[in-house]
Amino acid sequence: MTSKVVPHSGTAAVVPIAAEALWVLVLMSVVLAWPPVIYAYLSYAQFGLFKPSYYLPYEELFAALRSADPEAIISAPILSMNMTSGQLLANMYTLTVDQLFLSVALGIVLGLALAVQLSFRKACATGSVGGSAAAAGSGLVATLAASSTGILGCCGSALSGGVLALAGVSFTTASQIAEIAPWIQVAMIAFFAFAYVRLSRRLKLLSASR
């Protein structure tokens, strides 16, 4: 998609599709990398060791697919990482199917919304990215809270909230936050999708009026 903008000088400009694609790729990478990077840092701060290892639990994924159970499928692990290999207690991060899709979706709408908002800001001096930045931060925090992280190498929903627990939040509170965090992610995805559509329309009207 190509967005037309009119800069303050009055000369028409075009934001290429490549620019939007670049923002989408950057934000998708940030959202996907955010939970394991933060968990690795907190694990190192807590235990003084960062020695990562990983494996692909494809047997669990295939078993969930064969079961045809929607709950088992969306919670199935795709990637598991131990941040402190060699220690008695394993600090595990697990990327599940639902978190993969939610993170990718959030990255896409974040990238599109940011690209169109920056274009709108170039065309209109009153444009601002402050509100979107705050919402983006909320989305990243929700992604972090919803990630499957925890100690002892267990996999699945029991790990939810481990990253918050390492950050100093009580286990009970961390688990409760982790339960609602995916719904916050869904709300953020809807918010940025709406913002993208709304700003795209405003940008087109602004370009047409000039």
pLDDT tens for 126-149 read: 555 555 666 777 778 788 777 777
Give the pLDDT of residue 26: 93
pLDDT tens digits, one per residue of 3-32: 444 444 443 344 558 778 899 999 999 999
Give the pLDDT of residue 15: 55
Residue span of the structural domain in which 158 resides: 32-121+128-209
Q: Which residue has the higher pLDDT, 10 or 184?
A: 184
* DSSP run (H or E) holding 114: helix 97-123
Residue 10 lies in a domain: no
Residue 195 lies in a domain: yes
Nearest to 35 by CA among 153, 156, 161, 158: 161
Average pLDDT (29-53) is: 88
Residue 148 lies in a domain: yes
| Identity of the residue numbered 64 | A
Residue 107 lies in a domain: yes
Q: What pTM does this model have? A: 0.79
Distances from the Cα of 168 to the Cαs of 29, 46, 93, 133, in angstroms? 27, 10, 17, 25
Q: Which residue has the tokens 């599709």?
A: 17
Query: How many Cβ atoms sit within 10 Å of the Cβ of residue 142?
Result: 23
Indicate whether 169 pLDDT > 90. Answer: no
Query: How many Cβ atoms sit within 10 Å of the Cβ of residue 187?
Result: 14
Nearest to 101 by CA among 76, 134, 68, 67: 76
Query: How many Cβ atoms sit within 10 Å of the Cβ of residue 122?
Result: 16
Instruction: Kindly indicate the confidence band of residue 153, based on its pLDDT and cuts at 50, 70 and 90.
Output: very low
Indicate whether 56 pLDDT > 70. Answer: yes
Indicate whether 208 pLDDT > 70. Answer: no
pLDDT tens digits, one per residue of 63-121: 999 998 999 999 899 999 988 887 777 788 889 999 999 999 999 999 888 888 887 77
Between CA 203 and CA 75 the distance in angstroms is 39
Total domains present in the chain: 1
Average pLDDT (58-67) is: 91
Is residue 100 a contact partner of residue 195, using CB atoms and an 8 Å limit?
no
